[in-house]
Homo-oligomer: A and B are copies of this chain.
């Protein structure tokens, strides 16, 4: 992971000063580096003996950070990892363009990794992510959104990159189809678990621990799993409330407290965390095709850890 950090730091450089400045604001702010970690671990599990996985690991982090920058334009979130969102400091224009730079740079890195098949998986993931983002935007405030619809969105928007991060290094290592498939499934399931926990925390975590304001999704009118659950069993009066705050985005100071109460009454957070736990377990189980090893244990442990941060 040290080599990944060095590659990330090196490749976000540019003679155009605004690029390292904005990139560093986000990429350099640390973050969990969960996606590169998965890529490196997947390469290890497949006994890969080259340098390409370092490139792929940096590439997936760059894709992730490009989408975060573009999300800043998208959702106007106030906090991103405890700092002010890039667009509030540098404006929408620079934020979009530096995101484009990171995205392009991620493809440079993938090319350097030297496998067209791995590139195929990652470039398809990039399309699917963009589709997922647009789908979520189009679904904003849609009262008819079901839990299944929501899972479709986050499978594209979030889980696809985790899946590609795990699968691409397996391709580089020449792993057989069953191992490659197992790693893709591991990444996808872990990604879903991760996003579901994130959604649950937005209705119950605390800002200090999360580096992100609680209630962000609510204020953006973004219907996530806890609300989709609450909507399923909602009374007419509750549905009118959700429609006003989510579809019309007509919110008062007290509405988030009311939303929290409704989500809790419908056990929206619990149902979301249950779904997350099921995905984490599935992720861990998928790795059983690999022989037992400390690395396999660590990757299975990572899946459990992702959901543990919610409790």
Contact = CB atoms under 8 A, between A and B. Distances in A.
A119 B114 CA distance: 11
A134 B94 contact: yes
A296 interface: no
A100 B130 contact: yes
Contact of A134 (B18, B70, B92, B127): B18
A97 B16 contact: no
B134 A16 contact: yes
A59 B92 CA distance: 26
A135 interface: yes
Given A73-B73, A93-B73, A119-B119, A124 B108 contact: yes
A308 to B, nearest CB: 32
A131 interface: yes
A64 B103 CA distance: 15
A138 interface: yes
A93 B74 contact: yes
A275 B100 CA distance: 30
A104 interface: yes
Contact of A107 (B92, B123, B129): B123
A123 B138 contact: no
A253 to B, nearest CB: 25
Interface of A: 14-19, 66-67, 70, 73-75, 92-94, 96-98, 100-101, 103-105, 107-108, 110-111, 114, 116, 119-120, 123-124, 126-127, 129-131, 133-135, 137-138
14 contacts: A14-B134, A16-B138, A18-B137, A19-B131, A70-B100, A97-B137, A100-B103, A100-B126, A100-B129, A101-B127, A101-B131, A104-B129, A107-B123, A108-B127
